[in-house]
Structure formats: C-alpha cells, structure tokens
Amino acid sequence: MIKGKSKICTHYSHCFCTIDIIKEEDMFTLGVEPVFSDSKSLEVVDKVIKYAREHIKIGKIFCDKEFFTTEILYTFIKNGVDFVVAVPKDEE
C-alpha cells in the first residue's frame, strides 16, 4: 500500500510495476512486481527487466511519465534496452 492523493475517501492504493508483451494487436502481462512505500523504483525496474530477459527478448520498453528519472533512464541504458518514456508536462 502506498499513500497518495486523496480520491473520494481513499488515501492509500496498491501500486504495481508490470511488464507486458505487446505484439501487433495482442497484449499480455508477463510479470507483476508489487511496489511498496519503501520500494526503490530503480530496483523494481531492474528486477522486471531481469525477469523479462529470462523469458523473452526485449525489443523496446515503453514507460509512463513516472519513470522519467535519471536513475531509471540510466538503468535502461546499462541494461542495453531501447526505451520510450513519456515526459512529464512542465507545470509553469
């Protein structure tokens, strides 16, 4: 459970990092890693990449804007994977 923004009487939520395979029109989940309040994003990402490599050849990784950090981008480079990460909107 992770504390987040309050939404209609909720303060906590479950958070997961998933690795999905997308091929043409099909998609299925290869793995799910729970994320806790004390989890380090870098370790979670590294773990799912290593897990995926045990089962498939990674073509390209696509990520939401929450993964747009120097450490995570470096992890992708270190692991030699191609990646596309959404960039957070500038809140000026």
Query: What are phi and psi for residue 57, nearest 5 degrees?
Result: -95, 120
Question: Would 55 be classed as within a structural domain?
Answer: yes
Question: Would 61 be classed as within a structural domain?
Answer: yes
pLDDT at 82: 94
pLDDT at 41: 81
Question: Would 92 be classed as within a structural domain?
Answer: no
Question: Would 90 be classed as within a structural domain?
Answer: no
Specify the long-range contacts of residues 49-52, CB closer than 8 Å, at least 24 apart. Answer: 49/19, 49/75, 49/76, 49/79, 49/81, 51/19, 52/19
Query: Helices (H) and strands (E) in the chain — how many of each?
Result: 2, 6
The domain tally of the chain equals: 1
Question: Would 91 be classed as within a structural domain?
Answer: no
What are the strands, taking DSSP E only, across 24-67? 26-35, 61-63
pLDDT at 15: 82
Residue by residue, pLDDT tens for the chain (92 residues) are: 344 565 666 667 778 888 888 888 898 898 888 888 788 888 888 888 999 999 989 989 998 888 899 999 998 998 899 999 999 888 66
Helix (H) or strand (E) holding 84: strand 83-85
Report residue 2 as tokens.
């992770």
69: containing domain: 2-85
The residues with which 32 forms a beta bridge, in sequence order, are 18
Question: Would 44 be classed as within a structural domain?
Answer: yes
